[in-house]
Copies of this chain bind each other. A is one copy, B any other.
């Protein structure tokens, strides 16, 4: 992972559909050279793939929340993952420091669907209680810089 790779990754984060030639023009490489590096980055898992960035509002997923999950007793991270993964409203989940065992990021069409998702989340056998924080507005949402640090 050298500076050249980082710049290639930056280009693709900015626009995943740009051609290898376009990326090459920016980083000073020929198109085939860029492709070989991209393939290598995909192989090594640095690049996980390419995705479309969708406006959640437009799709009818305008309501989101962060939920602290407190579990009964000791529950392993992998078990938490296995239980929350099937819920389609779960966008992300993390184990965290502090009183909670996990933070679950939910995204739903509206408050009602959010409530339903929350009920299903609270119904999981591993869950003791939850503390929800509903998002009022998304102030910022951006891909991480690729040239980190």
Any B CB within 8 A of the CB of A92 = yes
Please determine whether A9 and B81 come into contact, CB atoms closer than 8 angstroms: no
Any B CB within 8 A of the CB of A3 = no
* Size class of the A contact interface (CB-based, 8 Å): 35 or more
Interface of A, secondary structure class, is mixed
Q: A98 to B92, alpha carbons, bound, how many Å?
A: 21
Any B CB within 8 A of the CB of A113 = yes
What are 27 pairs between A and B in contact, CB < 8 Å?
A6-B59, A9-B52, A16-B52, A17-B50, A46-B58, A48-B55, A51-B51, A54-B144, A56-B144, A60-B148, A61-B148, A84-B139, A84-B140, A85-B140, A91-B144, A92-B140, A92-B141, A94-B135, A95-B139, A97-B133, A97-B134, A100-B133, A102-B139, A107-B144, A108-B149, A109-B149, A113-B149
